[in-house]
Amino acid sequence: MLRIITPEFPPVRASFTKLAVLAIVCHCSTAADAQSRARVDFSRDVLPILSANCFPCHGPDDQARQAKLRLDTRAGAFHTERPVIQSGNSKQSEFVRRVSSQDPEVRMPPANSNRQLSPHQIELLRRWVDEGAVWSGHWAFETPRRPEVPQIREDAWSRNAIDRFVLAQRKHLLLRPAPEAAKESLLRRVTLDLIGLPPTPDEVAAFLSDDRADAYERVVERLLASPHYGERWGRHWLDAARYADSTGFETDAPRSIWKYRDWVIEALNDDLPFDEFTIKQLAGDLLPGASTADRIATGFLLSGPQDGGSEPARLDAVVERMNTIGSVFLGVTLGCAQCHSHKFDPLSQHEYYKLFAFFNAADESVLELAPPEQVARRDALRAQLAALIAEREMFAAKLAAGTAASDPGYQERSRTIDSLKHQIPQLESAPVLVTPTVPRTTTTFVRGEFSKPGELVTPDVPVVLPPLAADERTRLGLARWLVSPQQPLTPRVTVNRIWQQFFGRGLVETENDFGVQGARPTHPELLDWLATEFVASGWRMKSLHRLIVGSATYRQSSHRTADADAIDPENRLLTRQSRLRLEAEAIRDSALVASGLRSLKIGGPSVFPFQHEGVMLNRATPAEWVASPGADRHRRGIYTHYWRLTPHPFLQTFDAPDSLTACTRRRTSNTPLQALTLLNDPTFAECAEALAQRVLREVPDGDHERLDRAFRLCLGRLPAAEERPPLVAVLSAVRARFATSNIEAGDRAAWTQVCRVLLNVDEFVTRE
């Protein structure tokens, strides 16, 4: 048991504490803030009110601006002809008079805006003005400064700096951290988190019998070195990269892009520093002496949906690439500014197109990876095919309308064409970015319409962020700028997303919106410490993972207690871990591993596991789903072929992203359709049967021992005493139907039922 009894936890009346905690939790602020509650903080308290209520008419959008007043910049708020804010004097401030007026004709926001300030908000604004109306930038746009790690006296709990920040945050609150998770639970958690697979019974046994003080750290090192680490974290990254194996839109044509997927897996396994990881994906083609791998990395920008080769489609794709960078690296929604200046965040439409210009100067090309003679042969066959199709059309044109399909000559030609189609080999290739030979100029587009070019723009970054030198305004320069030391957003957004994977929620809950309307960090100092630590340690993702999973905060039990739930039901103070439902791929992977069916081959073209008939019918353009032969049916989910128009139903049912836009956080739903899938889907029936046979094979005798084995395989632990009788009842019920002469068949059927139960329990699909 961990104890924290220090003078910093004074005995406080419980009711008082609860109130104090509630106040803090609802304002999402911090314990440190509580001390400085006296002063209103502009960025924390005032800016969110202004942006939500005033910016729509007095913000960055100059088309929507009313009364020539803008309140989103210091200059706008103070340096007008008649300043509406008098620092230090709310009584003389028109601003305060308008927001607090009782007269509906005078009051701001106006009645027809349907926005209304609460008395608390009005009071905050008044106090802010009286306290001197100190103006500062939005916190997320300021370069993070490395905070001091708090010193906690008599702290027997903390394992590293993370814990000291977490503890400092809750030190006034009398909330004790949860105890460390049980060893089995911890092993299953960290294994699923780092490699996306459940631990094997041997791994569990080894960990349980390892009494060394650093037994856990050894497990972490083993997992970080596992080649499956790259698959797990690669899948998270591919969500953000909206990776899919087809183009989307109506045609949803197949595309060969798996080389990029494999590049991601390998880069993560190699612990390629995140700055290089970023630069290669945005501009690998522009690096001096770019290698084939560097060029393949640019698949990141190209993996989005693509609607054919027209100019509007190209521009749409460029917009989509930019929006992806907005969500994934900057954590801001750039999309709004495509059509109008951003209503809340300081991004003008002009600046949007300046960013757009970087990506407008890059085109998609196909990098052939097969030997040139194979490429030449394939191209010759393609040309032959095109000629045959053209000839058939000319032939058909001479026939009477509607008779082509039944005409022998036409049929003969069609057969030839079909047979030639099957002879065309699928060669390895990858989409890559290239610089167009003829330089392309960029203009703004009036209200986002590509048919309405506006003024010419040159590439540059938004003024609210650190500047980019004039001679570095290339795509490569932009990529380097995103991971430059003074960049405030990329490191924060990245560590926050990684944190989110380990705790279910980021320190900033709105992981793709660090803008003014986004959530405030629950632990601002921890976020900045992690961001600066990440950069200082050379952008090493594995170091960051080691740090997080090594913390006492991570190692806490995820079980809830009534006391903590009453005070902090959302666990914003991190007084426990979270139970997280596994992602679609991890659920199937776990079943494949538990049953022993899994093929753990890494990389290669995408595969086609079992899928119900009929799924491919709902397509404008036909496509096939022919189940892969042999072991390829049982590969990890990351390798399942993803048709954007008709994704595999299993992936959809368990909330895999649609790959249409960058997904930085998966939704987790809990529906009867999921229950039906785990109960009845042929893949899971197959896993249950194989698991049963495995248990029977590996444990020669004894229901008790076999149940132990089945639990170890599925849940990484042994059954509790009270969990046995219901399962023994299942065994008896099934066996009763089999004659005594057929014990073997009875056992198989009975254990298959038990295994179906274990693949369906909540704990199986949950990381505890």
Partner 1 sequence: MPTNAIIHDRRHFLGQSLFGLAGLAGAPLLGGELDTSPLAPRAPHFPAKAKRVIFLFMLGGPSQLDLFDDKPRLRELDGQPIGDEHLARMKFAQIMEQRPSLLGSHVKFRRYGDSGAEVSELLPHTATVVDDLAIVKTVQAEEIPHHPAEVFWHTGTRQFGRPSLGAWVNYGLGCESRDLPGYVVLQSGMRPRTKGSIYAAGFLSSAYQGVPLRDGADPILNLAPPASVSESDQSQVIDTVRELNSIRHRLTRDPETTARNTAYDLAGRLSKTAPEAIGLQHETATTLARYGVDPAQPSFARNCLLARRLVERGVRFVHLCHGDWDHHSNLRQGLTTMCGQTDRACAALLADLKERGLLDETLVVWGGEFGRTAVGQKSATAGIGRDHQIAAFTMWLAGGGIRAGQTLGETDELGCFPVTPPIHVHDIQATLLHLLGLDHKRLTYRFQGRDFRLTDVGGNVIHEILA
The residues that touch partner 1, with contacts defined as CB under 8 A, are: 22-23, 25-26, 63-64, 114, 116, 336, 339-340, 446-449, 451-452, 558-562, 565, 569-570, 579, 581, 612, 614-615, 617-618, 649, 655, 658, 667, 669-677, 679-682, 685, 720, 722-723, 726-727, 729-730, 733-734, 749, 752-753, 756-757, 760-763, 766, 768
Q: Which is nearer to partner 1, 411 or 732 (CB)?
A: 732
For residues 703 and 701, give the distance between their C-alpha atoms in angstroms, rounded to a whole number: 7
Q: What is the amino acid identity at position 385?
A: L
- Which residue is it, tokens 């991890």? 586
Q: Which is nearer to partner 1, 52 or 427 (CB)?
A: 52
Say how far residue 622 (Cα) sits from the centre of its chain.
30
Task: Please enumerate in sequence order all residues whose Cβ is within 8 A of that of 149, keeping only pairs 6 or more positions apart, or say none.
Answer: 161, 164, 165, 529
Q: Which is nearer to partner 1, 194 or 336 (CB)?
A: 336
Parallel, antiparallel, or unpaired: how do β-strands 580-581 and 766-767 relate? antiparallel
The Cα-based distances of 395 to 391, 407, 409, 422 in angstroms read: 6, 10, 8, 22
Token output for 247: 């183009």
Q: Which is nearer to partner 1, 364 or 763 (CB)?
A: 763
Q: Which is nearer to partner 1, 154 or 449 (CB)?
A: 449
Q: Which is nearer to partner 1, 259 or 706 (CB)?
A: 706
| DSSP states along 633-650 | GGS-GGGB---SSS--HH
Task: Please enumerate in sequence order all residues whose Cβ is within 8 A of that of 208, keeping only pairs 6 or more positions apart, or say none.
Answer: 183, 184
| Shortest reach from residue 304's CB to partner 1, in Å | 16
| Shortest reach from residue 741's CB to partner 1, in Å | 20
Is the Cβ–Cβ distance between 212 and 200 less than 8 Å? no
Q: Which is nearer to partner 1, 64 or 600 (CB)?
A: 64
| Shortest reach from residue 338's CB to partner 1, in Å | 10
For residues 178 and 568, give the distance between their C-alpha atoms in angstroms, rounded to a whole number: 13
Is the Cβ–Cβ distance between 680 and 646 less than 8 Å? no
Q: Which is nearer to partner 1, 291 or 669 (CB)?
A: 669
Token output for 136: 């500062």
| Shortest reach from residue 488's CB to partner 1, in Å | 24
User: Nearest Cα to 309, choosing from 460, 188, 392, 431?
Assistant: 431
Dihedral angle over CA of 479, 484, 489, 490, nearest 10: 60
| Shortest reach from residue 47's CB to partner 1, in Å | 17
| Shortest reach from residue 154's CB to partner 1, in Å | 30
Residue 743: other Cβ atoms inside 10 A: 12
Token output for 103: 């007269």
Q: Which is nearer to partner 1, 75 or 729 (CB)?
A: 729
Q: Which is nearer to partner 1, 392 or 756 (CB)?
A: 756
List of E strands, 568-657: 580-581
| DSSP states along 241-255 | TT--SB--TTT--B-
